[in-house]
Amino acid sequence: MTTEELREQLLMKPVNGLTRLTEDQTAEMNAYCRRYMDFLDQAKTEREATAWAVREAEKRGFQPFIPGMDAKPGDKIYYNNRGKAIALAVVGAKPLSEGANICAAHVDSPRLDIKPTPLYEDTEIAYFKTHYYGGIKKYQWPTIPLALHGTVYRKDGSLICVHIGEDPADPVLMVSDLLPHLAADQMQKPLAKGIEGEQLNVILGTAPLSGEGSDLVKLHVMQLLNEKYGLIESDFQSAELVAVPAGKSREVGLDRSLIGAYGHDDRVCAYAELEALFALETPEKTAVCVLADKEEIGSVGVSGMQSHYFEHFMGALCDAQGVKLSDCFAASFCLSADVSNAFDPNFPETCDKRNNAFVNYGVAICKYTGSRGKGGASDASAEAMGHVRSTLDKAGVIWQLATLGKVDQGGGGTVAAYMANRNIVTVDAGVPVLSMHAPMELVSKLDCYETMLACKAIYLA
């Protein structure tokens, strides 16, 4: 055998996925990404993503979950967890005792949460105080246009949806930064300290009402919110208002091969799971799509992946078939669909190039995440990795293996550990992202599309 033949037979030869697509596949990829970008622009928060999923599921015949309901092959059921998370199932031909094929993603993204007593005026400028949500680099958030999204539960019990800054006719909001001329001290600070959490105050206005007092700008802002939404200041006490980057997703690069947007993490996987689920008829095993909240702060809370809402939903499906939930979980498989870091040639020193995901090399399968000796990871077994490998290969999905950065450089987690804690075999996989957790993140169209194909393959495994 020649050296060349040996190399061909024995060694891996990763190639850029774009060189492997047919013309038809490229057209499908582009159409898929247009639909994904449309979803991105409509669903910037977990509530908006959940509402979008409910709307689209109902159009496709999904029924809202009611305890005690049937779960027959072909039934399509969704469980709306308080408007902030959702689980959807297409009941399979085989009973749930043989397990479900689950894809789990999250629909919350890093942002600036408005504090419970947020509104104040200083030097005739009105502001909202914020507390950042999730892991952000604070210096990235001043001097970009921000939009206000959220929900207010008013004193009279009515629910108000707030949405300011996305319509081109709307004003946007902004956090200010210091001019370089006077930044001598600031520029000496480490990046983590250049902008402090308590400086992420969102500017709301500067025009005072006429009259006496030191609160005339604040009062004006409150008047505007009252005219538009009927709000009074105490209504902030029962509100979830968030500031997110304003504006729509964009194609990036002269070749338009990338998508730039706020919150690809992890709506890029959430959308992939949904579209793949919506395309199913009656799968062999029950296919379940989970879109969780609170992943960015530890999967806690009633809408996070540690919550028993998942047992509540899956338990009821199992009850309908006379199956024990623990038997179902023990036989199930979960793809924890979450983004990973794409290798960035600007920061090569942070990654092990031999074990990192690359843009355009397909959905990134992560054997483990975690940090400092795999701490907090759901370290997938050889068998679990083998299952994913053969399933994706059989379906012709373009995929790559990934780890999250150099050993001891940092790390991260996903919902994988919490699914595995339920005695469900779980593997991490998702889209490689550049500038993860920045106000604008980058992904490649190819990787988005292949992640959808991977979810489809897992549902049908």
Give me the residue whose beta carbon is nearest to Mn ion: 266
Q: How far is the CB of 264 from Mn ion (least distance, A)?
A: 9
Cβ 65 vs Cβ 316: under 8 Å? yes
Tokens of 287: 């296919």
Q: Report the length, in residues, of the chain.
A: 461
Q: How far is the CB of 118 from Mn ion (least distance, A)?
A: 24
Range 417-420, long-range pairs (CB < 8 A, 24+ positions): 417/376, 417/377, 417/378, 418/299, 418/305, 418/306, 419/102, 419/104, 419/305, 419/334, 419/336, 419/378, 420/334, 420/378
Nearer residue to Mn ion within complex by CB, 129 or 267:
267
Site string for Mn ion, 381-420 (x = CB under 5 A): ----------------------------------------
Q: How far is the CB of 273 from Mn ion (least distance, A)?
A: 13
Determine the Cα–Cα distance for residues 240 and 45; give it in Å rounded to an integer. Answer: 11
Determine the Cα–Cα distance for residues 395 and 456; give it in Å rounded to an integer. Answer: 9
Q: Give the angle 328-330-331 at the CA atoms, nearest 5°.
A: 70
Q: How far is the CB of 228 from Mn ion (least distance, A)?
A: 32
Nearer residue to Mn ion within complex by CB, 338 or 447:
338
Nearer residue to Mn ion within complex by CB, 297 or 330:
297
Determine the Cα–Cα distance for residues 105 and 430; give it in Å rounded to an integer. Answer: 9
Determine the Cα–Cα distance for residues 310 and 290; give it in Å rounded to an integer. Answer: 8
Nearer residue to Mn ion within complex by CB, 266 or 447:
266
Q: How far is the CB of 266 from Mn ion (least distance, A)?
A: 4
Number of residues that bind Mn ion (CB under 5 A): 3
The gap from C-alpha 270 to its chain's centroid, in whole angstroms, comes to 6
User: Which span (84-92, 259-267, 278-286, 418-426) binds Mn ion, by CB under 5 A?
Assistant: 259-267
Q: How far is the CB of 339 from Mn ion (least distance, A)?
A: 5
Nearer residue to Mn ion within complex by CB, 75 or 338:
338
User: Which span (122-130, 194-202, 332-340, 440-448) binds Mn ion, by CB under 5 A?
Assistant: 332-340
Q: Is position 338 an interface residue for Mn ion (rule: CB under 5 A)?
A: yes
Nearer residue to Mn ion within complex by CB, 294 or 445:
294
Determine the Cα–Cα distance for residues 409 and 351; give it in Å rounded to an integer. Answer: 8
Tokens of 423: 């005695």
Q: Which residues pair with 290 in a beta bridge?
A: 87, 104
Residues 90 to 129: which contact Mn ion by CB under 5 A? none
User: Which span (44-52, 76-84, 239-247, 257-265) binds Mn ion, by CB under 5 A?
Assistant: 257-265
User: Which span (37-45, 86-94, 245-253, 336-344) binds Mn ion, by CB under 5 A?
Assistant: 336-344
E strands, 134-201, are 146-153, 159-164
User: Which span (71-79, 176-184, 263-271, 328-336) binds Mn ion, by CB under 5 A?
Assistant: 263-271
Nearer residue to Mn ion within complex by CB, 99 or 430:
430
Cβ 67 vs Cβ 128: under 8 Å? no
Nearer residue to Mn ion within complex by CB, 266 or 344:
266
The gap from C-alpha 242 to its chain's centroid, in whole angstroms, comes to 16
Residues 265 to 284: which contact Mn ion by CB under 5 A? 265-266
Nearer residue to Mn ion within complex by CB, 235 or 338:
338
Determine the Cα–Cα distance for residues 94 and 231; give it in Å rounded to an integer. Answer: 52
Contact positions vs Mn ion (CB under 5 A) = 265-266, 338
